[in-house]
A and B are shown apart, each in its own frame.
Chain A
Amino acid sequence: MLEGSEKKLLGSVLSLARKVCDRIGRKVKLMEVCGTHTMVIAKSGLKTVFADSLELISGPGCPVCVTDQKDIDKMILYSRLQNITICTFGDMIKVPGSFSSLEIERAYGAKVEIFYSPNEALMYAMAYPQREAVFVGIGFETTIPLVAYCILEAKKRGVKNFSVLSLHKILPPALRVLLDDPDLSIDGLILPGHVSTITGRKAFDFIGRDYGIPSCISGFEPQDIIEAIGIILLQILKNRPEVEIGYRRVVKENGNLTAQEIIRQVFEPCDAKWRGFGEIPGSGLLIKKEFSGFDALKKFSLPEVNSESQKSEKSGCICGDIIKGKKTPLDCQLFSSVCNPSRPFGPCMVSQEGACAAYYHYGV
């Protein structure tokens, strides 16, 4: 049951939402750009609570979902190489590439191990020195420092059979591209608490300054998100767009400087392809030359990914538009009947944090 103070908060945010609604003459449209928020919103039934005043849509917040089809194919091709163990977060297993998935490759004999942290993959490499452990580096600022740490640690310990396929992405450049899109009409952004813990609040200042969009960094309890919604609504009312922190117990102005430094030590920015967005300058991370022994791309050569890759993205899957907040899963003709978590067509249905999976599991 909601405690007295939480009930009061919900009540006041609800009436605030109605007030803003009346003011602008339509529902308030807010976007969340964090996969964990997507799940919490779906699971807590938040959309139904605010059904008459808010439209909550998902943006590019799920790292699995924004990974380009060709990169997925690359990962699958690595799993076919002799003596390689693909070390990955569980979400990647079912993600369909254009010709296969890790799940299918595993059934045909590929060695695929699921880990919950890159450090466990490094431990695996040390325990099985005769195998080549390739860690699939998927994730935003939250996971990147851990991967960087593991590469440093592997170098320190002289581990020769550990490498990383760096498909990491950093969020702010993608948000810029999103906000530059004239078709996007949102009234505010709910910003990710974990990513901001690393980057700091300031990294998102451009949202209010350059685009005039209200925003708030939110924690991960339903109450945190309700509070963040309230903060954004107040900004809209006062017409004072800025980046506020609603997750004060963790997020600071400048973020975690140690984590940022460790990322800089190991990685350098590069252009990266995002599903739905195409290439975004400076949004990816390349492993620096001095660590090339831990860079799977440098260590193993792959056969060229063939043109089949483009084909499958045209199969009717609209993950790309969903990630950009232009469409919802319900707009997809494949949703539920043809594409579901048991037989997913696109990554948004696979990842627990994908908008399609959230719609499917929680019927929002």
Chain B
Amino acid sequence: MKMDDVILLSHGDGGLLTHNLIEEYFLPHLGNDLLLNLDDSTSITVRSDNVLVTIDSYVVDPIFFPGGDIGKLSIYGTVNDLSVSGAKPLYIAASFILEEGLKLSILKQIVASMAEACNEAKVKIVAGDTKVVGRNQVDKIFITTTGVGTLLEGVNLGKHLIRPHDRVIVSGPLGNHGLCILLQRGNFSFKTNIKSDCAPLNKVIEPLLKTFNGVKYMRDLTRGGLATCLKEIASSSRSIDILLDEESIPVDEEVRGICETLGLDPLYLANEGKFVIFAEKDESKSLVKFMREDLGLGMASIVGEVREGSGNVFMKTTIGGTRRLNMLSGNPLPRIC
């Protein structure tokens, strides 16, 4: 290995090596008319009364996993936060914290993956920053991205709009990302085909919002999974309950099987390309049909409905019983007996 194949502390000193790092590793992939100015800030023009901003940090371990990597995730995650809020994602600012000793080839791969993700999601990186810290002061690479978008025309979303009889729709099978990461990280000796579901949601949400007026509210189902998200929504309103039907919640067979073995519940596992919709009852069936047939979300399903209540989430089980769902509390732990 050559001595200069890795990130050195000097790559973060703001001098020649920093300059070279940006020129050689970032700009060839991420460069665009706005970023190439390389000024201290970038001027962007946004024509809208409703500009949405979001920020997220990405510290996933491992940085490469089946179905994606930290670079891709750092774009899609932020794009998705804007998308489920009804916005068209436009611009991203990205900040990198790199660990001394990180291989430059790995950095290159991550940056290239971010560029690909930006193309896919049709967003531009317009500002960036890199810092280097000493070995063991950060784990390889942390990325923070800020996203800017504009509210799609005519769109009005909010949990205050949710009413009894509204239907709850999920866009596809749950738990793949969370389980994929868990399997990569844990000390497991078995092989699986489980991949992260990380994907940009604006590609499907934009056409959906343009076609249907009955969408009241959306959330992307990241940390805490569907159960935690619904419990948050129900308890913030206090005047509704959400009733789920276990049978209709889509989960891939392999995910279900491994979850059973490890004592995990897919309803509490993170997703990176799935969202939940609260929609008017009358529109919900045609909405799911549209998602399945026109948007390629073959397993989109109505999974429950809103009732008058007091902030609870219930689930009708396969055998006809009822159980209550709470927020995720503590890590999902495996059973031992």
Using a CB–CB distance below 8 Å, which chain A residues touch chain B? 1-2, 6, 10, 34-36, 39, 42-49, 61-64, 89-91, 93-94, 113-117, 119-120, 123-124, 138-140, 142-143, 192, 194-195, 222-223, 226, 340-342, 344, 350-353, 360-364
CB nearest to B268 among chain A residues: A361
- Give the distance to chain B from A75, nearest Cβ to Cβ, in Å: 14
Check A143/B337 contact, CB under 8 A, given A90-B331, A124-B187.
Answer: yes
Which of A94, A353, A364 is the one whose CB lies under 8 Å from B323? A364
Which of A42, A114, A138, A350 is the one whose CB lies under 8 Å from B186? A114
CB nearest to B334 among chain A residues: A90
Is B263 within 8 A of A352, CB to CB? yes
Complex contacts, A360 vs chain B, CB 8 Å: 326, 329
Is B337 within 8 A of A222, CB to CB? no
Which of A2, A114, A350, A353 is the one whose CB lies under 8 Å from B335? A353
Is B335 within 8 A of A91, CB to CB? yes
Check A116/B262 contact, CB under 8 A, given A1-B247, A34-B337, A90-B331.
Answer: yes
B317: Cβ under 8 A from any A Cβ: yes
Is A46 within 8 A of B319, CB to CB? yes
CA distance A194 to B247 in the complex (A): 27
Is B326 within 8 A of A63, CB to CB? no
Give the 6 A-B residue pairs with the shortest CB-CB distance, closest first: A45-B321, A363-B324, A45-B317, A341-B330, A341-B329, A89-B336
CB nearest to B314 among chain A residues: A363
Which residues in chain B, 128-184, are within 8 Å of chain A measured between CB atoms?
A: none
Is B335 within 8 A of A352, CB to CB? yes
Complex contacts, B334 vs chain A, CB 8 Å: 89-91, 116, 352
- Give the distance to chain B from A322, nearest Cβ to Cβ, in Å: 17
Complex contacts, A222 vs chain B, CB 8 Å: 317-319
Check A113/B187 contact, CB under 8 A, given A1-B318, A46-B319, A226-B319.
Answer: yes
Complex contacts, A94 vs chain B, CB 8 Å: 330, 333
B320: Cβ under 8 A from any A Cβ: yes
Complex contacts, A48 vs chain B, CB 8 Å: 321-323
Which residues in chain B, 287-337, are within 8 Å of chain A measured between CB atoms?
A: 315-326, 329-337
A36, A360, A362, most chain B CB atoms within 10 A = A362
CA distance A336 to B263 in the complex (A): 21
- Give the distance to chain A from B268, nearest Cβ to Cβ, in Å: 9
Check A61/B323 contact, CB under 8 A, given A44-B318, A124-B187, A342-B329.
Answer: no
Main SS of chain B's interface residues? loop
Q: How large is the interface on B (under 10, 10 to 19, 20 to 34, 35 or more residues)?
A: 20 to 34
Check A39/B263 contact, CB under 8 A, given A194-B337, A353-B337.
Answer: yes
Is B187 within 8 A of A45, CB to CB? no
Using a CB–CB distance below 8 Å, which chain B residues touch chain A? 186-189, 247, 262-263, 265, 315-326, 329-337
Which of B262, B323, B337 is the one whose CB lies under 8 Å from A63? B337
Is B336 within 8 A of A143, CB to CB? yes
Which of B319, B331, B336 is the one whose CB lies under 8 Å from A138? B336
Complex contacts, A362 vs chain B, CB 8 Å: 323-325
Is B336 within 8 A of A91, CB to CB? yes
Which of B187, B265, B317 is the one whose CB lies under 8 Å from A116? B187
- Give the distance to chain A from B331, nearest Cβ to Cβ, in Å: 7
Complex contacts, B326 vs chain A, CB 8 Å: 360-361, 363
Is B335 within 8 A of A36, CB to CB? yes
Complex contacts, B330 vs chain A, CB 8 Å: 94, 341-342, 344, 350
A47, A64, A89, A363, most chain B CB atoms within 10 A = A363
A and B contact pairs by CB, cutoff 8 A, 5 listed: A91-B336, A116-B262, A360-B326, A361-B326, A363-B324
Complex contacts, A90 vs chain B, CB 8 Å: 331, 333-334, 336
Is A47 within 8 A of B321, CB to CB? yes
Is B321 within 8 A of A49, CB to CB? yes
Complex contacts, B325 vs chain A, CB 8 Å: 362-363
CA distance A39 to B336 in the complex (A): 12
Is A139 within 8 A of B337, CB to CB? yes
CA distance A93 to B247 in the complex (A): 33
Check A115/B187 contact, CB under 8 A, given A353-B337, A362-B324.
Answer: yes
Is A2 within 8 A of B323, CB to CB? no
CA distance A101 to B317 in the complex (A): 35
Which of B262, B321, B332, B337 is the one whose CB lies under 8 Å from A36? B337
CA distance A10 to B320 in the complex (A): 10
CB nearest to A336 among chain B residues: B326
Complex contacts, A93 vs chain B, CB 8 Å: 333
Complex contacts, B263 vs chain A, CB 8 Å: 39, 352-353
- Give the distance to chain B from A127, nearest Cβ to Cβ, in Å: 10
Complex contacts, B316 vs chain A, CB 8 Å: 45
CA distance A192 to B337 in the complex (A): 10
Check A44/B319 contact, CB under 8 A, given A139-B336, A353-B335, A362-B324.
Answer: yes
Is A2 within 8 A of B336, CB to CB? no
CB nearest to A138 among chain B residues: B336
CA distance A113 to B185 in the complex (A): 11
CA distance A222 to B247 in the complex (A): 14
- Give the distance to chain A from B33, nearest Cβ to Cβ, in Å: 47
Is A353 within 8 A of B321, CB to CB? no
Is A10 within 8 A of B319, CB to CB? yes
Which of B186, B322, B337 is the one whose CB lies under 8 Å from A45? B322
Complex contacts, B324 vs chain A, CB 8 Å: 362-364
Beyond contacts A45-B315, A351-B336: 13 other A-B pairs, Cβ-Cβ < 8 A, are A2-B319, A39-B263, A42-B323, A48-B323, A113-B187, A116-B186, A119-B189, A192-B337, A222-B317, A222-B319, A350-B333, A362-B324, A363-B323
- Give the distance to chain A from B61, nearest Cβ to Cβ, in Å: 14
CB nearest to B327 among chain A residues: A342
Is A61 within 8 A of B337, CB to CB? yes
B263, B318, B321, most chain A CB atoms within 10 A = B321
Is A91 within 8 A of B329, CB to CB? no
Complex contacts, B321 vs chain A, CB 8 Å: 44-49
